[in-house]
Amino acid sequence: MLLFALPVFLGNVFQQLYNTFDAWCVGNYIGDNALAAVSSSGSLIFMMVSFFNGVAMGAGIVIARVFGAKQFDAMRKAIHTAIAFGLVVGIVLTVAGVVLTPIILQWMGTPDEVFPESVAYFRYYFLGAIFVVMYNIFVGILHAVGDSRHPLHYLIFSTFINIALDMLFVAVLGFGVGSAAVATTISQGVSALLCLLHLLRIDATYKVCFREIRFHKDSLKEIIRYGLPSGVQNSVIAVANVVVQTNINSFGKAAMAGCGSYSKLEGFAFLPVTCFTQALSTFVGQNLGAKQHERVKKGVAFGVVCSCVLAEIIGGLSYILAPQLIGMFSDSTESIAFGTQHMRTICLFYCLLAFSHCIAGVMRGAGKPTVPMITMLACWCVFRVSYITVALKFINELTTVSWAYPITWTLSSIIFLIYFLKADWIHTFDKKEQKA
């Protein structure tokens, strides 16, 4: 699991560098308005792409399951169906993102002085949305068969392209905030293309052939069965986070810049969570497909403990270094104060986030995607939005918004722990397979 998770971890580090370097570059070379425009991008981007990435995650689980069971014909159908699905939804997402960006930003209450730059950044970013979707599809295929090394190589290469283009467009040529998104779009296209070329050339059972790319009814049904709950979960949680961002926007551009800077750092802090969640889903799916029940139990225990410990270590370091970390993005005293306050309220609870995500990953790999969907929708969406709506009427401070995350992570962790200890999720998977 570590051999699989380490390249995933490093890959996520470089993937996180995309928007983080955009924020650093525009914050240092353009100013706080541009920084606020880029830094507040996370929740909106996640809302627009999360549904399709959730379905892509389901495709990876289906491929991992049939790969573990050595059902190679079914695996090839699943792979080519996933690619066909990615092409369709990538085009839809590109069009929707470009058209709906101003409407969503207005709904989020984006301040007037930031609005034009926000629209420019998001529209250029979503012009490359199809590359984001296809990259995630290709990486999901490679991860499902146990290859986390090649995606890492391609991501490192494209990250350096992104950094070089950011410096050229923003620092040297002074093209403005939209050019940072153009740099990201180009580099994402490169990483997607490299993954595709690898899948076209490799001599293996999971090789991609253009003439086989089509929708296979049974494969599409399985992908939707596994991926739709994750997609719905991601989308609704993303809407909740947009509501959170809307409330942050109400405190002004300094709060937007400070909290947005934290969101870029948060992406790095969550890397142990992300890599072990992906590793656990693949590990559980492959080994349950191969009937290796004891190996599943040991692997799950190892992955959950490692993720929680690493997340809490990072949380402690984040608490100590918060002012210095936020200060990398802006020299505004007010922005640094907002970002530090926000970070220190949240970061000591990273272990709870790790636990919730890991158990959700285990459940998805075991063929029970509705369990994490219902739990996270209830805790991270309904309860989170309700808490913010009510609490801000009594305590109208940024800290009130910040506490929404630790409170809802605690609630979901309790529910997941109870379910994990009591449910017979391993043998439920076997019964479903026998019925199929």
Rounded CA separation 379/241 (Å)? 12
Q: How confident is the model at residue 182 (pLDDT cuts 50, 70, 90)?
A: confident
Pair 281, 357: CB distance under 8 Å: no
Residue 319: is its pLDDT beyond 70? yes
Residue with tokens 């790969």: 67
324-382 residue pLDDT tens: 998 887 778 898 999 999 999 999 999 999 999 899 888 888 878 788 888 988 998 89
Q: How would DSSP label each residue in 313-379?
A: HHHHHHHHHHHHHHHTT---HHHHHHHHHHHHHHGGGHHHHHHHHHHHHHHHHTT-THHHHHHHIII
Total structural domains within the chain: 1
* Secondary structure (DSSP) of 119-174: HHHHHHHHTTHHHHHHHHHHHHHHHHTT--HHHHHHHHHHHHHHHHHHIIIIIIS-
What mean pLDDT comes out for the span 38-56? Answer: 66
**Cα–Cα dist 175/180, whole Å:** 9
pLDDT averaged over the chain? 82
pLDDT digits (tens, 9 = 90+) for 380-399: 889 998 999 999 999 999 99
How confident is the model at residue 309, as a pLDDT?
A: 92
Cα–Cα nearest to 181, from 25, 383, 370, 343: 25
Query: With a threshold of 0.85, does the pTM exceed it?
Result: no
Most confident of 1-5, 190-194, 240-244: 190-194
pLDDT at residue 320, rounded to an integer: 94
Band (108; pLDDT cuts 50, 70, 90): low
Q: Which residues contact 227 (CB under 8 A, 6 or more apart)?
A: 54, 55, 56, 57, 58, 59, 61, 369
> What mean pLDDT do residues 51-63 have?
77
pLDDT, greater one: 105 or 195: 195
* Average of per-residue pLDDT across 91-110: 81
Q: pLDDT exceeding 70 applies to what percent of the chain? A: 87
Q: Who has greater pLDDT, 128 or 45?
A: 128
**Amino acid 138: pLDDT:** 92
Q: Is 80 exposed, middle or buried (0-12, 13-18, 19+ CB in 10 A)?
A: buried
pLDDT tens sequence across 269-303: 777 777 788 788 878 877 887 778 888 888 888 88
> Per-residue pLDDT tens for 229-257?
777 777 777 777 778 878 888 888 788 88
| Domain range for 353 | 2-435
Helix (H, G, I), strand (E, B) or coil at 388: helix
Among 51-60, 257-266, 363-372, the range scoring the smallest mean pLDDT is: 51-60
Dump pLDDT digits (tens) for 410-420: 999 999 999 88
Higher pLDDT pick, 67 / 384 = 384
Whether residue 114 is predicted with pLDDT greater than 90 in this model: the reply is no
- Residue 297: what pLDDT? 86
Q: What pLDDT does 313 receive?
A: 93
| pLDDT number for residue 342 | 93
